[in-house]
Structure 1
């Protein structure tokens, strides 16, 4: 067990946004979080990353309550990539990725060989080594997202949380980013809109509706015709690909 949510409740005023959510993320696997707009996906991810505090319930990291960790310790352990992550346009790619080392360094410590090794490995893993000296504003949308993933990897996290990282990317960059995240040797939790991408790349899924989890399990267990109709209000035919044991969803015209 890596991250565990135990009966989480979070509100905005009198409105309950997260309503009694409990689950465990399997260590080293990719967990996809699905649901219509307004279902609570982003709020849940921010609770898991320690950016919000629940009104009730607990987030646990390896059996220890998240609220007992120092903010710096959480940043060393958990990397969070926001849906609309921004970066100073005057920075180079290498400078953006170096920001990921900040939680591991004191104000008085100098840049170390370990920092260099970690940053270079993050650039290599995300395919951004050749762009290391390029200006941020010159990058494509896909390159910017890969740079944000590289910055997250430079944190040396055990958990990676991503909020709809494929939004506004073209198909090629969506697929490349999902392949990258699904190949990472760490626990990853990612909110997604595309149901076929979730079926292809996620090991397990949570489906949210009105702040509650309404389904959880493998893609094969979760993505049923009835659920797609009840939660997403779409008619679809679901089949398993003969080439790789994954689902494919055909939406009715």
Structure 2
């Protein structure tokens, strides 16, 4: 296993935002995190990334307590792409991607062949090689997201955490980005809004409501008509096929 959460609780004042959450992320698989706005998805992702500490419970990374691991060590293997990631507009694409190498370098170390290799591979894998010298502000929304993914991949992570990375992208770039992430040889945990995209690309799903996990399992196990109505307040028909395990959701007009 890689990432495991055990009875996580996190509060803001007296308000419990993450309430008794437990799960295991399977190595090399894509775990989708679903739930209405305010259900605790972003807070849970920030706990997993080590950016917040739980009030109780624990997160382990290869059976080591995340709280006992140094921030730099975590950054060397866990990459986090936030929902509203920002970048200095004066940078070129390649400079943005190079930022991903910082956790692997000391204050006085020079740029190495290994750093170059990691950046080049990240650009190639995300389809941004031809744009490597382009200015950040000249990129489309989809290209900016791919650059953020490339920066994360330059960290050489074993785990990749993404908070609604397809927000504000057109459909073409949403599908392209999710196809890219699902093909990566890493363990990924991704928060999504689009239920059909979650069904298409995620190996397993967690559904949150009011800080708690209310369903977990494969897309076909989780995305039921009853759950869609009770959690997302929508009437829908869930289509399944004996020849294709992944469900497709048709929303009522």
Residue 213 of structure 1, CA deviation: 0.2
**Per-residue CA shift, 1:204-242, capped at 9, x if unaligned?**
000000000000000000000000000000000011257
Quote the residue 1:30 is aligned against.
30
Residue 243 of structure 1, CA deviation: 6.7
Name the CA distance, whole Å, in 1 between partners of 2:251 and 2:54. 37
Name the CA distance, whole Å, in 2 between partners of 1:145 and 1:243. 33
Name the CA distance, whole Å, in 1 between partners of 2:250 and 2:162. 26
- 5+ residue gaps, structure 1, are none
Q: 51-60 or 240-249: which moved more? A: 240-249
Aligned residues: 253
Query: TM-score, length-normalised on structure 1?
Result: 0.99
Name the CA distance, whole Å, in 2 between partners of 1:59 and 1:49. 10
Query: TM-score, length-normalised on structure 2?
Result: 0.99
Name the CA distance, whole Å, in 2 between partners of 1:140 and 1:35. 28
Q: CA RMSD in A?
A: 0.8
Residue 244 of structure 1, CA deviation: 4.0
Quote the residue 2:57 is aligned against.
57
Does 2:183 match 1:183?
A: yes
SS of the residue aligned with 1:245? strand
Quote the residue 1:10 is aligned against.
10
Name the CA distance, whole Å, in 2 between partners of 1:227 and 1:101. 42
SS of the residue aligned with 2:175? helix
Summarize the alignment of residues 117-196 of structure 1 with structure 2, pairs less than 5 Å apart. Answer: 117-196=117-196
Summarize the alignment of residues 212-251 of structure 1 with structure 2, pairs less than 5 Å apart. Answer: 212-240=212-240, 244-251=244-251
CA contact (8 A) 2:235 2:252 kept: yes
Quote the residue 2:42 is aligned against.
42
**Per-residue CA shift, 1:21-77, capped at 9, x if unaligned?**
000000000000000000000000000000000000001001010000010000001
- 5+ residue gaps, structure 2, are none
CA contact (8 A) 1:11 1:55 kept: yes
CA contact (8 A) 1:126 1:150 kept: yes
Quote the residue 1:91 is aligned against.
91
